[in-house]
Structure 1
Amino acid sequence: MLDTTEGITFDISQEALDAHGQPCAVIDATAAAVMLGRAFRDADGLTDDAGLGLAPAVQAALGEALAAAAPATRVMLDTDAGKRVYDLFLLPPDRRGHRLVLASDRTMDSGLRNALTESRARYKDLVEISSEHAWEVDADGAFSFVAPQGLLGYAPRRVIGLPAGELLDPERHTDPINPFATPVPLEGRDVWVRAGDGSLCCLEVTAVPLFDADNRWAGARGVCRDVTEQRRREQEMAEARARERVFGRIVRLFQREVKPENMIRAAASAITHGMAATGCQIFGIAAPLAKVVQHPTFQQETAFGRIGSDRDADRLIAALESAGRDAVVGDLVGDRHLIGTLCMHGDRINGAIVVWREADRPDFGQAERRLLAGIAGTVGVALEQLYSHRVLVEVSRTDGLTGLLNRRAFYEDMQRRVRRLARGERKAALMYVDLDNFKAVNDTWGHETGDKVLRDVADLLRANTRSTDMVARLGGDEFAVWLDDADETVAVKRAEVFLAASAILKQHSARPDLPLMLSIGIAVYDPVNREDMNEFVSRADGAMYAIKRKGKGSYAVARQPGRRAP
């Protein structure tokens, strides 16, 4: 038993120390070990290497505590298992100056505190250097904390107290949940906001709601990072893929189509489907191969789907001409959205595209406008192919000297018209026109005068026929006229007009006795007779030669098939 100066008695036998579960020891006034309990001896780092005395660091710490009359001290020890932390508690001494020392292992508590302190410092450093923006809002939905680097160009002092909803871009944010004041956890939610410089930015927000002790919403906290450039690149890639799909569809359709007209129709279909539109019009221009066209005249080449009125399309095209060559112009007309752009080939405007969409669907966005601008170049190439094809067709069907239809084109068109007449009751007339005494003009005045005479005859015939009629030069000094919806009376009157107008040709005659005149043979087609093409042509030709044999400068009408000559 140990009687202390305060009258307390401790059982300090070795057996008692060994039986105590907590590390304990008895030291003298110099902090040297008098007795060590088993738990004290077993504790990591408290004893010396022999296990018979105190570890030097422990004895030194206890000596300092005795000198300072401190009731406790803490010691940190380096052991083979790592750092250990002990709190040493000194009980009051007995009459001989011996003290009971109790040791408590605080290694885990200290480690946790140190880890927490280090973690907080690390988090603070990471937040400050991170590209992500940390924030918190209070129960009123206003920012109560923002990381030191601020938020999107806003200094922390400008953001603290600001309602979180004021940062949202109203045109882009349609979600009913404000991610800065979310009542539910969010991860990776995109939100478009206005930055401090007024620019539009996209933030990817991850947030959790906060609740008070009564489970009432008390705010939210989270992090967000600027993904504007990433989203813009993704949008550009999506637009590029959309363009590739539409271009690919157009190219595939072009490859399947031989005729340029069909290519243009295929392009209108592909544009309509590729832009989720309801209709598309493609316009060409008159005189498309002219090098410089100050004010081109647009005419529709094809249309696909449901479109609006020609007047609305014409007004949009006029706006395009005013806006410039690369512009994409949009409008809302009645129950339809429409956008359009000009088509170019080289530095020339050679057409336009107008795309339609119902007004109850979203308007065309910037991505679709850029898509249309890109497509316009491909359509411009297709239009140029169409124009070139038409020029080739026109050249192949036209007499080079007079600009009239040539023999092949005239007979092809006449065959189609005869087939059409055979299905009805209307009549038509074929007139063969031959120049009398023309060879003498060439022999006397030369071929230059002869060519002028041929052009004058072409002008004469064109000026005295309707747009529905056909005029052709069959070759040499032979011409042909097809009169649509004409019986014998109409044909004879037209022949008399030709003869009267031909008086002007006499000024180019070789000699007075060889006057330039016209000999005209007329054949009337009546579907009742079921006459074939060859017979019909032969009757006109025969009538023309009959009048030449009778004296020239007049006309003759061929008998109808099966009718005897008078």
Structure 2
Amino acid sequence: MVQTPPPTALPAADTATTPVVAGYPGPAFRLTADLRVAEANAAAQELLDGDPRWLPDVLGWLTTSSVAPGLRSVPVQVPRGGMVIEWAAVPLGGAGTLLLGRDATLERQLRHTLTESRRRYKDLVEVSSDFAWETGPDGRFVFVTTRGALGYGPEALIGRDPHELAVEEWEDMPLPFDARRPADQAELWLKRADGTPACVVASALPLYDAQGQWAGARGVCRDVTETVTRSAELARVRNREKLLAHIVHTLRNRLDATEALAVAAAETARALGAEGCRIYRAGEDGPMTLAIDVGGDAAPDEIAPEALAPLLSQAAATDDPVLGILGSTRVLAARTEYQQAVNGAVLVWRGDYADPWDDEDRQLIGGVADQLGIAHAHWAYQERLRRLSERDGLTGLFNRRTFFERMEEQLATRETGPSALLYVDLDNFKAVNDLHGHQQGDLVLKSIGNLLTRGVRPGDLPGRLGGDEFVLWLGRTDEDRARTVAERLLAGIKTLSHLSASPEKPLGLSIGIAVHRPGTGESVQELTDRADSAMYAAKGRGKGNFAFAPPHIAVPTAAASAETMP
């Protein structure tokens, strides 16, 4: 067990921080294996500069915790007042521990205020028309509105398990009375005192004690049985609620966002009795683009994209689902949004032979749209992560790792003709940085990225290896085509002469070209080395040139040599 060092033995934090520590929005430390402060960001340094007596408490917690210690809330005194910091520890193996903090002061203050106002809350719910309740840690009622509910007096309900009130098919299902997360307008069936069923809509919030353990729940219920007049209509509502829960579960638990949206679209069409469902995403410039199309192959011509555009625009501009009739087709559309920003739409259609869309249809598609908005945000986040992992942050070209992975894939396919790799080095680039600064240098690199991507075909791969070195893979390309592209690049660099360091040191390109032929067994590394050597040959001719690498000489394998023996 590592001993907790006393406060006086703690060295000052190192001001040189890693990107994770420096970029964290709250206080962050990196501790050594013996729990000494190795790095601290500015927010963490403020805590150290205050009253540091909190730190031994945190270090003692770490020494007595398991590999995954969880969270720890600690009061801290700083010059601007008292704070409560919630700490999370991330073990770094032999490298020590990452300690990340979150300011939970306001949260604690609000919790204290809510505790003090509990009496006021009970007074208010006593005069409410709803049935208010609270359950304890054992799940039984500890508070019920004084007039009781469902024909029971409060004395008949307090101390009783709410599950005893549930009708048979609800007895073993999770109820709002033991909610572990907020529940809003959840519908359930309970038994009245006379044994008749009552349809109840419940909203609930879970309660937790100071140690974070579940301590019950509180909420309100409203008897809506009178509004449910026909059993067939009630069954329809309940089935749709279950379907919406299934859609929500699908969207939240499928890792592949596209697959989740496709399942949600199919289920939405089935639930609404629609012939098809389309899910749209809002682009950066605003217009909706089709993301998922279920049933579109059999869609009538009257719901062509140009006919739907006004309806989608109308849906994007209003909170409520929009109804439309296009020829003999009934259309229902609702916008999707995330954090109050519209990010798409969902649309269903069916023929006019079917019943018109009703309020239940609109409520269901509205509920689906709420969840699709979150799914769209998840999709966009996945796309952003994928782009960040594949692209160079400055030029938008493929980064080194992704470029060579894609090249490996291309070489692994069965090609029928030659391809070419252009290895491009920027001439006199260092002079730009030296004379005009890195901002001008970044502008040059971005311009080269645009030059490389101009006119590329599907399957071509422009990439940046790092610094001022670029590559361009040209699929299905022979020597003549590669020469044409190289000449285009050399002509294009001349249009960037205004970015040069000086007329004496103009920007230029030195290009090495290596033509790959299928069947030679040449690896990506061998091809790259040939193109690199050709680039240096071009640079040796005085820069601003291109040169072809000698053909690759295939080395026969042992099997091939055996086949040629007499």
Provide the C-alpha distance between the structure 2 equivalents of 1:464 and 1:313, rounded to a whole number of angstroms: 29
Superposed counterparts of 1:404-483, under 5 Å: 404-419=397-412, 422-466=413-457, 469-483=460-474
1:240 Cα deviation after fit: 4.6
Q: Which residue of 2 aligns with 1:555?
A: 546
Superposed counterparts of 1:185-204, under 5 Å: none
1:257 Cα deviation after fit: 1.5
Segments of structure 2 that go 5 or more residues without pairing to the other structure are 1-223, 556-566
Q: For residue 499 of structure 1, what is the amino acid of its counterpart?
A: L
The answer to whether the 8 A contact 1:283-1:352 is kept is yes
Matched, 1:379 2:372: yes
The answer to whether the 8 A contact 2:248-2:371 is kept is no
424 and 277 in structure 1: CA distance in 2 versus 1, 3 angstrom threshold: farther
Provide the C-alpha distance between the structure 2 equivalents of 1:318 and 1:513, rounded to a whole number of angstroms: 58
Deviates more, 1:471-480 or 1:310-319: 310-319
Q: Which residue of 2 aligns with 1:397?
A: 390
Provide the C-alpha distance between the structure 1 equivalents of 2:300 and 2:515, rounded to a whole number of angstroms: 42
Q: For residue 256 of structure 2, what is the amino acid of its counterpart?
A: K
1:229 Cα deviation after fit: 5.3
Q: For residue 297 of structure 1, what is the amino acid of its counterpart?
A: P
Helix, strand or coil at the partner of 1:527: coil
1:446 Cα deviation after fit: 2.5
Provide the C-alpha distance between the structure 2 equivalents of 1:245 and 1:528, rounded to a whole number of angstroms: 58
541 and 236 in structure 1: CA distance in 2 versus 1, 3 angstrom threshold: farther
Q: Which residue of 2 aligns with 1:297?
A: 287
Q: Which residue of 2 aligns with 1:149?
A: none
> Which of 303, 313, 320 lines up with 1:321 in the alignment?
313
1:399 Cα deviation after fit: 1.9
Q: Which residue of 2 aligns with 1:347?
A: 340
Q: Bigger radius of gyration, 1 or 2?
A: 1
1:415 Cα deviation after fit: 3.0
Provide the C-alpha distance between the structure 2 equivalents of 1:360 and 1:488, rounded to a whole number of angstroms: 63
> Which of 513, 516, 523 lines up with 2:507 in the alignment?
516
Q: Deviations over 1:476-516 (max 9, x none)?
A: 00111222432221110110111112124444444655442
Helix, strand or coil at the partner of 2:483: helix
Q: Which residue of 2 aligns with 1:265?
A: 262
Provide the C-alpha distance between the structure 2 equivalents of 1:563 and 1:443, rounded to a whole number of angstroms: 44
Q: Deviations over 1:191-246 (max 9, x none)?
A: xxxxxxxxxxxxxxxxxxxxxxxxxxxxxxxxxxxx99544686885565234212
Q: Deviations over 1:235-273 (max 9, x none)?
A: 885565234212221233235411222222221122123
Q: For residue 516 of structure 1, what is the amino acid of its counterpart?
A: L
Provide the C-alpha distance between the structure 1 equivalents of 2:415 and 2:458, rounded to a whole number of angstroms: 21
Q: For residue 275 of structure 1, what is the amino acid of its counterpart?
A: L
Helix, strand or coil at the partner of 1:430: strand
Deviates more, 1:484-493 or 1:321-330: 321-330
Q: State percent identity of aligned pairs.
A: 37
Helix, strand or coil at the partner of 1:529: coil
Deviates more, 1:239-248 or 1:519-528: 239-248
Q: Deviations over 1:14-35 (max 9, x none)?
A: xxxxxxxxxxxxxxxxxxxxxx
559 and 363 in structure 1: CA distance in 2 versus 1, 3 angstrom threshold: farther
353 and 501 in structure 1: CA distance in 2 versus 1, 3 angstrom threshold: same
Provide the C-alpha distance between the structure 2 equivalents of 1:339 and 1:309, rounded to a whole number of angstroms: 15
Provide the C-alpha distance between the structure 1 equivalents of 2:337 and 2:233, rounded to a whole number of angstroms: 24
Provide the C-alpha distance between the structure 1 equivalents of 2:354 and 2:389, rounded to a whole number of angstroms: 48
Provide the C-alpha distance between the structure 2 equivalents of 1:451 and 1:426, rounded to a whole number of angstroms: 37
Q: For residue 376 of structure 2, what is the amino acid of its counterpart?
A: L
RMSD: 3.2
Matched, 1:535 2:526: yes
The answer to whether the 8 A contact 2:277-2:348 is kept is yes
The answer to whether the 8 A contact 1:316-1:329 is kept is no
The answer to whether the 8 A contact 1:325-1:349 is kept is no
> Which of 283, 287, 296 lines up with 1:286 in the alignment?
283
Provide the C-alpha distance between the structure 2 equivalents of 1:503 and 1:548, rounded to a whole number of angstroms: 17
285 and 416 in structure 1: CA distance in 2 versus 1, 3 angstrom threshold: farther
The answer to whether the 8 A contact 2:520-2:554 is kept is no
1:519 Cα deviation after fit: 0.5
1:384 Cα deviation after fit: 1.1
Helix, strand or coil at the partner of 2:363: helix
Q: For residue 268 of structure 2, what is the amino acid of its counterpart?
A: I
Segments of structure 1 that go 5 or more residues without pairing to the other structure are 1-226, 288-292
Provide the C-alpha distance between the structure 2 equivalents of 1:524 and 1:560, rounded to a whole number of angstroms: 7
Aligned residues: 329
Q: Deviations over 1:262-291 (max 9, x none)?
A: 22222112212332333221111111xxxx
Superposed counterparts of 1:231-246, under 5 Å: 231=228, 238=235, 240-246=237-243
Q: For residue 318 of structure 1, what is the amino acid of its counterpart?
A: P
The answer to whether the 8 A contact 1:398-1:405 is kept is yes
Superposed counterparts of 1:54-203, under 5 Å: none
Q: For residue 263 of structure 1, what is the amino acid of its counterpart?
A: A
Q: Which residue of 2 aligns with 1:33?
A: none
285 and 230 in structure 1: CA distance in 2 versus 1, 3 angstrom threshold: closer
1:545 Cα deviation after fit: 2.2
Q: For residue 315 of structure 1, what is the amino acid of its counterpart?
A: A
The answer to whether the 8 A contact 1:430-1:523 is kept is yes
Provide the C-alpha distance between the structure 1 equivalents of 2:520 and 2:390, rounded to a whole number of angstroms: 30
Provide the C-alpha distance between the structure 2 equivalents of 1:233 and 1:370, rounded to a whole number of angstroms: 19
Provide the C-alpha distance between the structure 1 equivalents of 2:324 and 2:536, rounded to a whole number of angstroms: 64
Helix, strand or coil at the partner of 2:421: strand
Helix, strand or coil at the partner of 2:304: helix
The answer to whether the 8 A contact 1:342-1:353 is kept is yes
> Which of 236, 244, 247 lines up with 1:247 in the alignment?
244
Provide the C-alpha distance between the structure 1 equivalents of 2:481 and 2:371, rounded to a whole number of angstroms: 50
